[in-house]
Amino acid sequence: MGLACALEEARRGARVGVFDPAATQAQASHAAAGILVTRDAHVFSSPFREFYVRSIRQYPEWLAALTASAGREVPLHKGGDYLIFDLDDPAARDRLEAKSRQLDRERSLAFTVTDTLPKHLQAHSPLAKVRVFHFPEEAYVQNRELLAALRLACEKAGVVFRIGNPARAWEYAEGTTRLTFSEDRWEARRVLLAAGAWSFQALEHLGITAPMVPVKGQMIRIRNFHGLESMIHFNDNLYLVPRGDSLVVGATTEPGNWSEGFDGVGEAYVETHLRRFLPEVSREPLETWSGLRPRTRDRLPWMGWLDQERGWAICTGHYKCGISMAPLAAQCLSKLLHGEKAPFDLSPFNPWRKQGLGKVRV
């Protein structure tokens, strides 16, 4: 979120500095799977859903502009997605019903439904009774390539990077915020907080309480046994996303867990699900990792002013959807910072809504 917003600002000609203590190996954007699935939605039951789908639809254009700015290609992989429900599992049947209702409600058209496993899984999966949805237009992005390109594009656009935190609380006077680092001091007319699951720490220094929990996600990468570009979701709770000749497999959902790194919980999760759905496939990990998703109390992001008078804004809390929501979020925040009308009404994501931020009582 921070890099996407910084690039948008730099493109408008603003002088931009990004600071990050970089004290974590659990940055969500690095850990993510990069899944961008709209389920071909045309009718939206909430502003969140509409924001999410509209943002994903901007991806082709956004990546093309990013590729041009960074001088490095970030492909959008339109390999499609197979969503497979095991009809012998009552919980999966409930999920299937909920998914069918959603597709109906959202007037989705770009998918097919069958009762047989896709060919490339037949030799690998023992599931006997299945319902399979195939969405041929779904896409994913390699989020680590995306991050690298955003960083490069920012640098080319003149964005300055600093590892570390200001040594003192943000100081505001007469339209300017002073951020004092050990080496020097930055002065800014606008400050955007986009520190993911760690945002509450920065807010604490500003006297603001933030009801936010980290939700740990653990993943592994295994060899790509089918060799195709398509994603696979089993029962909506295990996914496999191609990374060239390997597959990202995940992910756990562990609220309130600040621990970093891959552990026994992640191992058991992946082992149990892979053994059930794809027992013949090698579970030997090529890589393991974890990340902390930023989740707010009502699961809606915080995108808006922290303090409009001082020029302080926030963009965080995108939970499981931050890679998908980055293009539109960056556009909206940039418009907000410049006092212009955002391309999406941000009022549902006002950080000061009832379930949102609070002031520390003194």
Ligand X SMILES: Cc1cc2nc3c(=O)[nH]c(=O)nc-3n(C[C@H](O)[C@H](O)[C@H](O)COP(=O)(O)OP(=O)(O)OC[C@H]3O[C@@H](n4cnc5c(N)ncnc54)[C@H](O)[C@@H]3O)c2cc1C
Which residues here bind ligand X, judged by CB under 6 A?
1-2, 19-22, 24, 27-29, 31-35, 165, 194-198, 201-202, 217, 219, 250-251, 291, 293-294, 316, 318-324
H or E, element range at 163: strand 160-163
Provide the minimum distance between the beta carbon of 119 and ligand X in the complex, in angstroms, as a whole number.
25
| In the complex, minimum distance from the CB of residue 325 to ligand X, in angstroms, rounded to a whole number | 7
Closer residue to ligand X (CB): 117 or 312: 312
Q: Which residue is nearest to ligand X (CB)?
A: 322
Task: Please give the Cα distance from 161 to 10 (Å, whole number).
Answer: 13
- Give residues with Cβ within 8 angstroms of 97, minimum separation 6: none
Please tell me the total number of residues recorded for the chain in this structure. 362
Q: Which helix (H) or strand (E) holds 106?
A: none
Least distance CB 197 / ligand X (angstroms): 6
Q: Give the nearer residue to ligand X in terms of CB position, either 62 or 130.
A: 62
Rounded Cα–Cα distance for residues 188 and 203 (Å): 18
- Strand pairing class (231-234; 81-86): parallel
CB nearer to ligand X: pick between 69 and 296: 296
| Residue 90 Cβ vs ligand X, minimum distance, rounded to whole Å | 27
85/319 with CB nearer ligand X = 319
- Cβ proximity to ligand X, 70 vs 330, nearer residue: 330
Which C-beta is closer to ligand X: that of 62 or that of 319? 319
Nearer to ligand X, 120 or 221 (CB): 221
Q: Which is nearer to ligand X, 35 or 274 (CB)?
A: 35
Q: What is the C-alpha to C-alpha distance for residues 302 and 297, in angstroms, rounded to an integer?
A: 11
Cis amide linkage into residue 251, ω under 30° from 0: yes
Residue 334 to residue 70: CA distance in whole angstroms: 20
Q: 199 is written with which tokens?
A: 């945002």
CB of 223 to ligand X, least distance (A): 20
CB of 32 to ligand X, least distance (A): 3
- The C-alpha atoms of residue 106 and residue 98 are separated, in whole angstroms, by 12
Which CB atom, from 113 or from 163, has the smaller least distance to ligand X?
Answer: 163
The helix/strand/coil state of 263 is: coil
Amino acid of residue 322: G
Phi, psi for residue 326 in degrees, rounded to 5 = -60, -45
Closest CB 57 distance from ligand X, rounded Å: 14
- Could you tell me which residues are beta bridge partners of residue 249? 220, 240
Angle between helices 2-11 and 143-156 (to 10 degrees): 30
Place of tokens 């570390």: 164
46-52: Cβ within 8 A, 24+ apart: 46/348, 47/344, 47/345, 47/348, 47/349, 48/300, 48/301, 48/348, 48/349, 49/106, 50/344, 51/325, 51/328, 51/344, 51/349, 52/321, 52/324, 52/325
CB of 212 to ligand X, least distance (A): 11
